[in-house]
């Protein structure tokens, strides 16, 4: 198994994508919210790039079947039903619903890797389940941290490094790493005993604290809360049978 990680979030080389499984990571907070919502029984999630598109797509579905979720500058978008805190995506609200989501980095990331092989939704919430799926499928991997408005993201890369470290520690497959993957793994090992410290150090983590959303940091730093690996396919995120 060859594992690469894209440290800066831009459209990967199509060749690099075509024969690899991809894991999209946005732990603060888009993919955390998505994994939480799917584990709470949401039917599917449609990640979109523009706010206008979210309202247009919602109109194509029966009234009452769909909720709009996401953020702009960490705040709930006007006219949307939910913000982007995973704590909002509970069964009472999302069970059986289709979610159309728009966020700054996370939803965009799925469109950047859409031509990839199997595209998984990764977070700390489902890290063990994601590692198991990767080891079982033994496919070459591209980890795709969603980043921070086109820049390197500390928290997403630490999550990527943990995925790499756990796959290697399982010792079931020979693993080849790129320099970027080695770098992510070493970064994870620095925060291994205190993931939350990386969140408080990160630019986006500080921004969430400044906007009164500090509770999302310890919440999103929890590992193995859910045993689901949602997949992005044909424009929607679902749990495969
Ligand atoms: C993003 O997609 O940029 C983040 O998830 C935004 C956030 O939740 O604050």
Reported as a single tens digit per residue, the pLDDT across 156-188 is 999 999 999 999 999 888 999 999 999 999 999
Mean pLDDT of the chain: 96
Ligand 1 centre distance from Cα of residue 71 (Å): 7
Segment 76-91 mean pLDDT: 98
- pLDDT at residue 147 in the model: 96
User: Which stretch of 17-21, 61-65, 203-207 has the lowest confidence by average pLDDT?
Assistant: 17-21
Q: Is the CB of 106 under 6 A from ligand 1?
A: yes
pTM score, whole prediction = 0.97
Q: Two tokens at 73?
A: 């500058």
Q: Is the CB of 26 under 6 A from ligand 1?
A: yes
Instruction: Give the atom of ligand 1 at the shortest distance from the alpha carbon of 74.
Output: 9
Instruction: Give the atom of ligand 1 at the shortest distance from the alpha carbon of 31.
Output: 5
Task: Please name which of 156, 119, 159, 123 lies closest in space to residue 141, comparing C-alpha atoms.
Answer: 119
Confidence of residue 241 (pLDDT cuts 50, 70, 90): low
Segment 63-86 mean pLDDT: 97
Q: Distance (Å, rounded) from C-alpha 143 to C-alpha 96? A: 29
Alpha-carbon separation of residue 57 from 39, 41, 66, 101 (angstroms): 23, 21, 10, 11
Q: For the chain, give the percent of residues with pLDDT over 70.
A: 100
17 pLDDT above the threshold of 90 = no
Pocket test for ligand 1, best of 34, 50, 71 (most atoms within 8 A of CB): 71
């Amino acid at each position: 198994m060859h594992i690469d990680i894209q440290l800066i979030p831009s459209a990967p080389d199509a060749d690099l994508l075509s024969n690899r499984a991809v894991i999209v990571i946005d732990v603060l907070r888009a993919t955390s919210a998505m994994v939480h919502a799917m584990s709470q029984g949401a039917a599917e999630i449609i990640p979109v790039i523009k706010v206008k598109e979210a309202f247009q797509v919602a109109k194509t579905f029966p009234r009452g079947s769909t909720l709009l979720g996401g953020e702009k500058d960490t705040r709930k978008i006007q006219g949307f039903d939910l913000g982007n805190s995973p704590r909002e995506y509970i069964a009472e609200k999302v069970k059986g619903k289709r979610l159309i989501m728009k966020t700054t980095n996370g939803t965009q990331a799925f469109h950047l890797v859409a031509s990839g092989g199997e595209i998984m939704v990764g977070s700390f919430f489902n890290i063990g389940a994601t590692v198991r799926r990767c080891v079982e499928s033994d496919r070459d991997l591209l980890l795709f941290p969603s980043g921070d408005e086109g820049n390197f993201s500390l928290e997403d890369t630490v999550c990527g490094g943990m995925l790499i470290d756990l796959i290697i520690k399982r010792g079931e497959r020979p693993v080849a790493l790129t320099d970027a993957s080695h770098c992510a793994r070493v970064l994870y090992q620095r925060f291994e005993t205190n993931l939350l410290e990386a969140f408080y150090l990160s630019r986006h983590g500080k921004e969430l604290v400044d906007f009164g959303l500090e509770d999302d940091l310890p919440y999103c730093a929890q590992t193995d809360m859910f045993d689901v690996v949602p997949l992005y396919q044909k424009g929607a995120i679902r749990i495969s049978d």
